[in-house]
A and B are shown apart, each in its own frame.
Chain A
Amino acid sequence: MPDPFEKALQTVPTIRLKTTMARIVPFASLAAKLPPNWLSTSGKRNRFNPREVHCLYMSADENIARLEFARPLVGLPTRRQPVVTFWAKVGLGHVLDLTDPTILSLLSLSQNDLDAPWHTVGGLTKTQTLGRSVARASSIVAIRYPSVAAKEAGIVGVNVVIFRERVVAPDSVRILGSDKKPLQNWP
């Protein structure tokens, strides 16, 4: 089957992203390995990647990360336990910005395509197909996209999915620690 995004990805404009991003993880999941694997990727499918494509998902700030963490828990009371917020400083050269309506139009994607639930969809969703195309053949290292959790909370928020295999110097992802030395970094 032809790749619906292959051609468009060759010419679509990208942005350079230099920012700090956040993620919230229960302490127990991180503490399983010491030192923690902050850049852990499961290779399980997610909104922008099919299975076996390793990606790191981060939110634009702590508030969005909190909304993303809480979303699937539907407001139910949570256990009083340590939860870790960590930050990554990213410098990425070619980022596909799906918060830009022009880019969406160039890729023939709609806002609904970006927001669509994907957990129980049998085949690949449009966003997962896009992620597969990015991972297969393009110079794109990450996708910036609107956070559905933020939208549901009535605010504007952004997430970024970073494709592990595409992060090569001078691109970088550095997990911030207590001093200048990163806790972990890509590449």
Chain B
Amino acid sequence: MATVVQRKVAPPIIVINEIHCALKHLLEVAATLAKTQRASREASFIVFFCGPGMRYNVADRIQLLQRFPEPTKVEIAFNRMEMQRTIQEVIAKWQVLQMRHVVPSSRPSPLDAVQEIVQATQDLREANGNLSVKNVAPLFRLSLRELAQLLGRTPQALSKTPDADSLQDALGYFEKIARLRSVLADDDAFRKWLRIGNPTLGGLTPLMILRERKWQELADLVDDVLMGSPG
């Protein structure tokens, strides 16, 4: 019987090798997997490999699929060839979804027109004017892997095109947050600010908020500081 290992971050594709397993056991595994699918930010694809001896009718399949919040991301294969084909298809679907991973651009700020403040983050841009992961990662002291996870990309993709047009909306939030450097003494103070519990955030660190992907909220906080707005 398959054992489902709980991980902090669910992998994009989970394959369950449950050869010759009765539907009853499969449903038990499905309950755990459904929880994983529900808890993760992006629901994992799940592929069940049930082995050539097994056959499930429509009612069985409905019983299995209805447990999942995203049944369209669940596949069942009954032989090795079918399994190979299914996994290839799922990988392709996952990659297409990754490419479509769209982050809305940050809301306009009254400070967008303030040259001195925008100048404070000029070093995050490449010569073509695009923001680059290559410059953002060290400023925020984030590994490429962590930044990739935040941006919903692979580290390889970020390495290949660190200033891709498709990254600009997401990196725009980081640029707005980095504007805080215009009031802090230096980059080191900015990195400390990211990692110190902040009373305006209920004691959480800005980095925690960043990891929760509440980027607009953090950019707004920086705006408030730069506008001297009491809160």
Interface residues, chain A, with chain B CB atoms under 8 Å away: 23-26, 28-29, 31-32, 40, 42, 44-47, 57-59, 64-65, 68-69, 71-74, 76-79, 81, 116-120, 147-149, 152, 159
Please give the residue numbers on chain B whose beta carbons come within 8 Å of chain A beta carbons, in ascending order.
Answer: 107, 109-111, 113-117, 182-186, 189, 192-193, 196-202, 204, 209, 212, 214, 217-218, 220-221, 223-231
- B199 touching A26, Cβ below 8 Å: no
Kindly list chain A residues whose C-beta atoms are within 8 Å of the C-beta of B182.
Answer: 26, 28, 79, 81
Q: Is the Cβ of A119 less than 8 Å from the Cβ of B226?
A: no
**Looking across the interface, which residue of chain A has its beta carbon closest to that of B185?**
A77
Distance A134 CA – B115 CA, assembled complex (angstroms): 36
Tell me, rounded to whole Å, the shortest Cβ–Cβ distance linking B193 to chain A.
6
A-B contact count (CB 8 A): 121
Residue of A nearest to B225 (CB): A72
Complex Cα spacing A78 to B182, Å: 9
Q: 14 extra interchain contacts, Cβ-Cβ under 8 A, other than A28-B116, A42-B110, A79-B183?
A: A42-B227, A42-B229, A46-B224, A46-B229, A65-B228, A68-B230, A69-B230, A73-B225, A77-B189, A78-B184, A118-B231, A119-B200, A119-B221, A120-B202
CA distance in complex: A147, B209 (Å): 24
**A42-B110, A119-B217, A120-B202 in contact; A29/B185 too (CB < 8 A)?**
no
Q: Is the CB of A76 within 8 A of B193?
A: yes
Given contacts A73-B183, A73-B184, A120-B214, contact A44 B223 (CB under 8 A): yes
27 contacts between A and B (CB under 8 A): A23-B230, A26-B226, A26-B228, A32-B113, A42-B110, A42-B229, A44-B224, A46-B229, A64-B230, A69-B225, A72-B199, A73-B183, A74-B198, A76-B185, A77-B184, A77-B186, A78-B184, A78-B189, A79-B182, A79-B183, A81-B182, A119-B200, A119-B218, A119-B221, A120-B209, A120-B212, A147-B230
Complex CA gap A9/B226 in Å reads 33
B183: chain A residues at CB < 8 Å are 26, 73, 78-79, 81
Structural contact, A71 and B110, CB atoms closer than 8 A: no
Instruction: Return chain B residues, CB-CB under 8 Å to A72.
Output: 198-200, 221, 224-225
10 A-B pairs closest in CB distance: A25-B228, A117-B202, A68-B230, A77-B185, A32-B114, A28-B116, A76-B189, A72-B200, A57-B230, A159-B230
**A interface SS class:** mixed
Which among A40, A71, A81, A159 has the greatest number of chain B C-beta atoms within 10 A? A71
Instruction: Known contacts A72-B198, A120-B201, A120-B209; decide if A29 and B230 are in contact (CB<8 Å).
Output: no
Q: How far is the CA of A32 from the CA of B183 in the complex (A)?
A: 15
State in angstroms the CA–CA spacing of A129 and B75 once bound together: 46
The answer to whether B115 touches A71 (Cβ under 8 A) is no
A24 engages B184 (CB within 8 Å): no
A152 to B199, CA, bound (A): 9
Q: How far is the CB of B158 from chain A (nearest CB, A)?
A: 26
B185 A149 Cβ-Cβ under 8 A: no
Question: Which one of A68, A76, A79, A159 has the greatest number of beta carbons of chain B within 10 Å?
Answer: A76
- The distance in angstroms between the C-alpha atoms of A25 and B110, with both chains bound, is 14
Complex Cα gap A76–B201 (Å): 16
Which one, A73, A120, A148, contacts B204 given CB within 8 A? A120
Report the nearest B residue to A68, measured CB to CB: B230
* Bound-complex Cα distance A152 to B202 (A): 12
CB-based contact A40/B225 at 8 Å: no
A33 to B186 alpha-carbon distance, docked (Å): 26
